[in-house]
Structure 1
């Protein structure tokens, strides 16, 4: 009885202690998130973790591919990935350091450049890889223009919609010129044909219109058009049609059309909770094609288990939270729209990749941002994170702290200038004064007869006709 009474006394105390510790942790976390540069530091942390995880997994996944296909060593693919990461790191710094008004001013030029390179890739200048003419290849270096076009559409589309925000309630101003330009991009990408690029480009367009406040019925029409385009691309080539058929009938032809999807799910299952260990996964030994690129999430589950997959999901969930936090805490409408659109793009691309690896979506060939092996995707994604970090430094509290207290530790390390405060656009003066309503001037001054009568009240000579 004594022992039972002691346990009854100790358990509530332990519960109170645990609750107190959780409360203290919650208070400390809330205080840290309330700091002026919390969003900027979170962007840096997520970016560094995703980049490091991507390099480690590409190194583990590409050893067998390098040995079998490259023939020049075990680390050929990894060395290329490391080179792309170095180039992307420079662009990340440029995106952090370049003033956002300059980026906004250059967005129309970037959009024009994107259209030009999409046209050029359809000419003999472009290289045909895996049945699609969507690459420029110069020696060992390859470049995919659709990645640049997605960023250009996000920056330029936000600029146009913000300039016309006072008249966006009219369909003519809401859709023109953003929708025609986007449809031109869709047409050029579908001519390649590139299903994954078309889907992610559509995500950027929908995000722009959503954050611009477009009516819901417009998204229904866009969804119907998007489904028609995806269906057209899916049946346009045999291997895409095989992917759709294998998704609709996952239990048929397990050694043929469904082989890749089945092997991805087996790799996830073999990893268990803790995984086989880094570098010990069996799926990369020619059991799972494109494991270092499209299906790297399956290798993460194979080698790092459910914990590794949970880490990836948590990092992209953090990208979503931080990106929307940056969008809501800014007062510049262009920064708000750009931060929200870029965030939706990154998170949606990761969700599509993870979705088809686990069998929830058909295979589309979309890479996992910053983790999959891929040159243009990695470089452009690192630039996107740099722009997000720049947007975080333009939060009003961050601007005040940086201008009053100095650039801070990371600002000194990266040589980042203090951002300028937000200046609302000046109201345009009319080109010529508005003509007054007809008769307003006479009502203000009165008729000549009324003016004469008013003046005659104080002047008797005028009352007598002006004669003495």
Structure 2
């Protein structure tokens, strides 16, 4: 057994430290309306995100990674049950018009984040067990579509198109890595793009967001307000930014500044140089993850490592693209950075598992 990948370990620490620093600065804008809001955001991120995430990180790092293959199905079923609890239990709660959380007193949990992790593990286990059948329609493509379709229905019940896009995109990449035929990948792409546009058209607010993306300047005082303020933030940062804590857009101008739009504040305060550092970090994570995957001793490890970095990278680059107008705004948070204790804890669990796999590299 080799030592864990030290570069990835330090990269993880850098993500946590710089992410918390960015959230700290951005959350100061909340104090304009509620002086206690900044403390609440940072406390939850520190205790539930970093604290809880550290525990999950250590567990996923120390437990032999092949154990996750044995528990993949019950882990996945548990995540699905949590998703159902959101709508069929008294603990389900709505924030911002979307019912996606479970609340137990002072503790809140976002099951869709747990679903991402469990789905990566389950899909890696399922694909590795069907290595010879992946190219088959009956035993490969059709069951894959069925599994992904069930997840899609659960997420659409919660009106969570953003998580659906991340999961289906990541799942498609994994299917390809596992040996899926090119023509089957083409079918998946056609079905995915068709489903995305249908789901966009049938919901007026999503259709408006798509119009803003396709036609810059559309409805600037309402639907287009968000992206306009985001672009103002990024543009005003220039090359080196206004400086840490000196953003103006976070003070009630930019919607969702601590969550979906936090990269815009990074651009405003740290400029093109600082923004590029974050992008480079995600690229390094993707490269390092693929390197670990390529040197894994078995197919499950390769798919698991590849799945982790693909899911994180897809989410990160869709968030960044939406922030600068290269993709429609879908409400996708930035991994390691955006407000959300559950998301950060799951990201750290994924890093622990990736480092675990790196110990067994060939």
What TM-score results when the alignment is normalised by the length of structure 2? 0.94
Is this contact kept in 1: 2:230–2:264, CA < 8 A? Answer: yes
The match for 2:160 is: 194
The match for 2:360 is: 394
Is this contact kept in 1: 2:135–2:141, CA < 8 A? Answer: no
The match for 2:151 is: 185
The match for 2:24 is: 59
Aligned counterparts of 2:352 and 2:198: Cα–Cα separation in 1: 36
Is this contact kept in 1: 2:131–2:179, CA < 8 A? Answer: no
Aligned counterparts of 1:171 and 1:54: Cα–Cα separation in 2: 43
Range moving further from structure 2, 326-335 or 360-369: 326-335
Aligned counterparts of 1:223 and 1:262: Cα–Cα separation in 2: 30
Q: 2:79 is paired with a residue of what secondary structure?
A: helix
- Aligned mate of 1:88, from 19, 37, 53: 53
Range moving further from structure 2, 330-339 or 163-172: 163-172
| 1:17-44 Cα shifts (integer Å, max 9, x gaps) | xxxxxxxxxxxxxxxxxxx968711110
**Per the alignment, do residues 387 and 246 of structure 1 end up closer, same or farther by CA in structure 2, a change over 3 Å counting?**
same
The match for 1:352 is: 318
**Per the alignment, do residues 287 and 180 of structure 1 end up closer, same or farther by CA in structure 2, a change over 3 Å counting?**
same
Is this contact kept in 2: 1:330–1:395, CA < 8 A? Answer: yes
- Aligned mate of 1:203, from 158, 164, 169: 169
Aligned counterparts of 2:349 and 2:253: Cα–Cα separation in 1: 34
Can you give the 5+ residue segments of structure 1 that lack an aligned partner in the other structure? 1-35, 397-468
The answer as to 2:119 corresponding to 1:119 is no
Q: Alignment RMSD, CA only?
A: 1.8
What TM-score results when the alignment is normalised by the length of structure 1? 0.74
Deviation at 1:354?
A: 0.2
How many pairs does the alignment contain? 360
**Per the alignment, do residues 67 and 287 of structure 1 end up closer, same or farther by CA in structure 2, a change over 3 Å counting?**
closer
Equivalent runs, 1:250-261 vs 2, <5 Å: 250-261=216-227
Aligned counterparts of 2:318 and 2:2: Cα–Cα separation in 1: 31
Aligned counterparts of 2:252 and 2:283: Cα–Cα separation in 1: 31
Q: 1:257 is paired with a residue of what secondary structure?
A: coil
Aligned counterparts of 2:130 and 2:307: Cα–Cα separation in 1: 17
The match for 1:40 is: 5
Range moving further from structure 2, 245-254 or 372-381: 245-254
Range moving further from structure 2, 36-45 or 210-219: 36-45
**Per the alignment, do residues 131 and 228 of structure 1 end up closer, same or farther by CA in structure 2, a change over 3 Å counting?**
farther
Aligned counterparts of 1:165 and 1:73: Cα–Cα separation in 2: 50
Is this contact kept in 2: 1:153–1:204, CA < 8 A? Answer: no
Q: 1:180 is paired with a residue of what secondary structure?
A: helix
Deviation at 1:67?
A: 4.6
| 1:307-362 Cα shifts (integer Å, max 9, x gaps) | 11010011001001100000111221110111111111111110000000010000
The answer as to 2:267 corresponding to 1:301 is yes
Q: 1:335 is paired with a residue of what secondary structure?
A: helix
| 1:399-443 Cα shifts (integer Å, max 9, x gaps) | xxxxxxxxxxxxxxxxxxxxxxxxxxxxxxxxxxxxxxxxxxxxx
Is this contact kept in 2: 1:88–1:378, CA < 8 A? Answer: yes
Aligned counterparts of 1:239 and 1:65: Cα–Cα separation in 2: 25
Aligned counterparts of 2:204 and 2:305: Cα–Cα separation in 1: 38
Can you give the 5+ residue segments of structure 2 that lack an aligned partner in the other structure? none
Deviation at 1:293?
A: 0.7
- Aligned mate of 1:130, from 92, 96, 114: 96
**Per the alignment, do residues 225 and 94 of structure 1 end up closer, same or farther by CA in structure 2, a change over 3 Å counting?**
same
- Relative contact order: is structure 1 or structure 2 higher (C-alpha 8 Å, sep ≥ 6)? 2
Aligned counterparts of 1:335 and 1:286: Cα–Cα separation in 2: 45
The match for 1:171 is: 137
